[in-house]
Structure 1
Amino acid sequence: MTSTEHLGDALVKVANQRDKAAFAQLFEYFAPKIKRFGIKQFNNEASAMELVQDTMTSVWRKAHLYHPSKGAATTWVYTVMRNASFDALRKIRSNREDTLSEDIWPMIHADDDDAVFSDHLESKLLKQYLDMLPAAQQEVVKGVYLQEMSQEQLAKQLGVPVGTVKSRLRLALSKLRIHMGADHD
């Protein structure tokens, strides 16, 4: 199924009848192309696969917006893909801004906790506050700020999604702020 007319027919079937077989044909045709585009765009297979998922989910949900008289199915799907790609790029840019704290946290190099805190004016106090956090949050704070790992590296090391690392870090920093008070921001 490679002709534009067949793709258009499949898209109309998805729109009008929620035809899963037609959607499978669209997926089979477009997924490899979207993935290749995503790898070129993001230089990352996981992000490329996320682009495939986002694009094809939108195709399923928005198929009713496709009108064969206005253009080819390929043009419509690639427009959906382009919009999903822009959304992903905005999300990446936004996440970089969210991780700005990595850039302003004090640089510390050491292997054990006592050495890590030896330079810090309130080392024992800071260590106490860190010890109050749940183990998973301690692990993330130490990995990001004390071992200078990126959130992506830490997620890979821990075997959890990046979003989990970000959530744990956000919660941990919030708890530390509460425990330490406004004087220590």
Structure 2
Amino acid sequence: MNPTDNHEQLAALMDRIANHRDKRAFSQLFAMLAPKINAFGNQRLNQQGLAMDLVQETMSRVWTKAHLYRPEKAAVTTWVFTIMRNQCFDMLRKVQHNREDAFGDDIWPMIESEQAQDDDTDFLLSDSLLQHLDELPLQQKQVVKGIYLQELTQQELADKLNIPIGTVKSRLRLGLQKLKSYMEPHHD
């Protein structure tokens, strides 16, 4: 099959999906594009499970947004791979965000309070951590305290400090890295 025939076949499948919600056409399109999306996902996400999630998310969007496809603007593969790329970026951002959250949890040691009542466990920040928190530069200390002590969201803190959310994220990451380096020699 030459490339022109393939483009025409894909365009015909998209037309049937968009205008008739044709499940058989979607199944054919899925079979044709899923291996390429999976290969891209494996290459970018480095996990087979995430690659399969990328296939599912991409093709779900293709199904729900098929009516938006315009053959005069792009080939079907270009349109689908643009959806795939955007979905991949979203997944990478989510993975990075989860890593940052886990990193923050790892270095935020808490100790059991001796004053806990009944079976409830009350946690207090260790004195050592609070001491090291005060050693951070003022801007990083503001952000770490805002997120972890005042329990503000990053957006709430950005609004409160009148700075971009990206600046909050950078200061938080730097502050957490410094806290971790302060705590490592003292932490078992």
Q: Is the TM-score greater than 0.5? A: yes
What pairs with 1:1-185 in structure 2 (closer than 5 Å)? Answer: 3-106=6-109, 122=113, 125=116, 128-129=119-120
Q: How many residues align?
A: 119
In 2: Cα distance, 1:126 partner to 1:35 partner: 53
What is the identity percentage for the equivalent residue pairs of Structure 1 and Structure 2? 50
Q: CA RMSD in A?
A: 2.6
In 2: Cα distance, 1:124 partner to 1:39 partner: 50
Structure 1 alignment gaps of length 5 or more = 108-119, 133-185
In 1: Cα distance, 2:66 partner to 2:117 partner: 54
**Structure 1 residues 6 and 36: alpha-carbon distance in aligned structure 2, compared to 1, 3 A threshold:** same
Task: Report the AA paired with residue 97 of structure 1.
Answer: E
In 2: Cα distance, 1:6 partner to 1:82 partner: 23
Aligned to 1:163: none
Task: Report the AA paired with residue 63 of structure 1.
Answer: A
Normalised to the residue count of structure 2, the TM-score between the two structures is: 0.56
Task: Report the AA paired with residue 31 of structure 1.
Answer: A
Give the Å deviation of 1:123. Answer: 6.2
Normalised to the residue count of structure 1, the TM-score between the two structures is: 0.57
Task: Report the AA paired with residue 71 of structure 2.
Answer: P
In 2: Cα distance, 1:88 partner to 1:95 partner: 10
Task: Report the AA paired with residue 7 of structure 1.
Answer: L
Task: Report the AA paired with residue 13 of structure 1.
Answer: R
In 1: Cα distance, 2:43 partner to 2:103 partner: 26
In 1: Cα distance, 2:19 partner to 2:102 partner: 44
Q: Which runs of 4+ in 1 moved over 6 A?
A: none
**Structure 1 residues 35 and 67: alpha-carbon distance in aligned structure 2, compared to 1, 3 A threshold:** same
Task: Report the AA paired with residue 23 of structure 1.
Answer: F
**Bigger radius of gyration among the two:** 2
In 2: Cα distance, 1:121 partner to 1:25 partner: 58
Give the match's secondary structure for 2:90: helix
Structure 2 alignment gaps of length 5 or more = 123-188
In 2: Cα distance, 1:121 partner to 1:62 partner: 51
